[in-house]
């Protein structure tokens, strides 16, 4: 996939947003500009030809719990709706624009509708009577071109169902036998094909249950997706700086050292317990460890051979996943597996192709927040086996081409 950023609009006072703004905006502040009232407009010049376009928005909703828990955002391009979101926290959003919607237009009108705009003074005594909805710090336009990659592209909509249930009902196979038959790989080999990019340690523990212990920067980490994307975009510059590493003794007994990394908001397990090491030694060792794992992570991105896995206990929309998918693909033709709870027409184990390099898997359940070890081994194995089978189909197609 060819991916080029054609335009970046920055909305801080030192940015370039004034050349693109229509109505519905407050005066710029140092890092952002507020959307005002019911809708705001961005005017783009004619865009160069592409197979598809993707726009991204870095937004922070105006919320005030419990009266105003979230903000709705409806995004339109030349009066055609391209996506909607309901946001409760700072988020990077991505929206796909078909080429027919944009190609040939002398100008492109982006309309942001935000029907839940509210006045801060109605919730506190700060006196701000503006109707605020979202602050916007950055807006980008990407051109996507269908370049010839290493493998042929799987068509969107292609799907592998769970498969195992039917065979198991006949008494033919167990889950491990089914997965090895499906992929031609052992269970440890299946697990090693994947690398977690968040949002917690559940998938890393699944790999451990598979007798696989891959070294992964984010295997046992959690952070907000917005921080994750910004880290990948910038190569996690500065990660591992000792001053940013804060070990804290938590949980127990025995209490475990949890690392709170300040630059990118990483929080992760060390599996080192109270009395085993000093805080100072923990900082030095984790600094060296993070720098090593970062080098390995960047090498994996450039090799584009792993399937990167993202899951979050709360629902994750395509608009939230798209910027992560794009960040991964700036380094190579990477594949992202986005895992969601099963749906009525998507039983557990199903994996479908959303777009080239973006797979969506469905699991029966995630582990509870208070016990990451209580995960669905069968559910994860079904998804991983089907994802391996899909990417294997892609590779076999390339070999036969």
How far is it, in rounded angstroms, from Cα 171 to Cα 126?
A: 68
Residues 136 and 173 in one domain: no
How many domains does the structure of the chain reveal?
2
Instruction: Judge whether 88 and 63 are in contact, CB under 8 Å.
Output: yes
Residues 201 and 311 in one domain: yes
Residues 10 and 61 in one domain: yes
Q: Which of 7-11, 17-21, 43-47 bottoms out in mean pLDDT, i.e. has the lowest?
A: 43-47
Residue 75: CATH number of its domain = 2.60.120.260
Residues 21 and 59 in one domain: yes
Residues 315 and 386 in one domain: yes
The secondary structure of residue 38, as a DSSP letter, is S
> Is residue 57 one of the residues assigned to a domain?
yes
Residues 123 and 190 in one domain: no
Residue 218: CATH number of its domain = 3.40.50
Q: Which of 27-41, 157-171, 379-393 bottoms out in mean pLDDT, i.e. has the lowest?
A: 157-171
Q: Is residue 167's pLDDT more than 60?
A: no
End-of-domain residue from the set 85, 119, 145: 145
> Is residue 245 one of the residues assigned to a domain?
no
> Is residue 154 one of the residues assigned to a domain?
no
- For the chain, report the end-to-end CA distance as a whole number of angstroms: 18
Residues 94 and 189 in one domain: no
pLDDT of residue 145: 83
How far is it, in rounded angstroms, from Cα 117 to Cα 119?
A: 7
pLDDT 10s digits, 357-399: 999 999 999 999 888 899 999 999 999 999 999 987 555 444 4
How far is it, in rounded angstroms, from Cα 176 to Cα 159?
A: 21
> Is residue 258 one of the residues assigned to a domain?
no
What's the domain range around 330? 159-230+299-400
> Is residue 257 one of the residues assigned to a domain?
no
Residues 138 and 204 in one domain: no
Residues 86 and 31 in one domain: yes
Mean pLDDT, the chain, as a whole number? 90
Flag whether the pTM goes above 0.85.
yes
Residues 122 and 163 in one domain: no
End-of-domain residue from the set 111, 145, 179: 145
Q: How far, CA to CA in Å, does 317 sit from each of 86, 91, 94, 369? A: 10, 11, 10, 20
Residues 185 and 61 in one domain: no
């Amino acid at each position: 996939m060819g991916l080029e950023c054609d335009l970046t609009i920055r909305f801080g006072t030192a940015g370039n947003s004034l050349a693109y703004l229509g109505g519905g905006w407050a005066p710029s502040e140092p890092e952002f500009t507020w959307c005002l009232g019911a809708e705001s407009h961005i005017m783009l010049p004619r865009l160069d030809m592409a197979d598809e376009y993707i726009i991204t928005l870095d937004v922070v909703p105006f919320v005030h719990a419990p009266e105003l828990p979230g903000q709705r955002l409806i995004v339109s391009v030349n009066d055609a709706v391209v996506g909607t979101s309901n946001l409760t926290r700072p988020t990077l959003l991505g929206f796909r624009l078909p080429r027919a919607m944009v190609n040939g237009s002398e100008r492109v009108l982006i309309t942001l509708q935000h029907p839940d705009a509210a006045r801060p003074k109605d919730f506190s005594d700060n006196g701000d009577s503006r109707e605020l909805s979202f602050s916007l710090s950055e807006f980008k336009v990407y051109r996507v071109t269908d370049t010839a990659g290493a493998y042929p592209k799987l068509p969107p909509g292609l799907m592998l169902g769970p498969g195992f249930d039917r065979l198991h009902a006949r008494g033919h196979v167990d889950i491990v036998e089914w997965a090895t038959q499906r992929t031609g790989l052992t269970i440890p080999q299946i697990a090693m094909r994947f690398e977690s990019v968040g949002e917690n340690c559940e998938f890393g523990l699944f790999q451990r249950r598979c007798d696989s212990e891959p070294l992964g920067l984010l295997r046992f980490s959690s952070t907000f997706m917005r921080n994750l994307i910004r880290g990948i975009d910038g190569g996690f510059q500065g990660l591992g700086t000792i001053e940013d590493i804060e070990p804290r003794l938590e949980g127990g007994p025995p209490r475990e050292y949890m690392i709170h990394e300040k630059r990118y908001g990483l929080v992760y397990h060390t599996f080192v317990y109270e009395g085993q090491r000093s805080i100072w030694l923990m900082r030095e060792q984790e600094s060296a460890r993070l720098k090593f794992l970062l080098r390995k992570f960047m090498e994996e991105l450039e090799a584009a051979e792993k399937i990167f896995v993202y899951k979050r206990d709360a629902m994750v929309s395509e608009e939230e996943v798209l910027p992560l998918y794009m960040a991964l693909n700036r380094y190579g033709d990477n594949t992202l597996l986005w895992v969601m709870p099963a749906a009525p027409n998507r039983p557990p184990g199903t994996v479908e192709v959303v777009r080239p390099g973006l797979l969506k898997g469905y699991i029966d359940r995630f582990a509870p927040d208070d016990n990451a070890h209580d995960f669905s081994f069968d559910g994860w194995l079904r998804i991983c086996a089907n994802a391996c089978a899909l990417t294997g189909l892609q590779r076999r197609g390339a070999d036969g081409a």
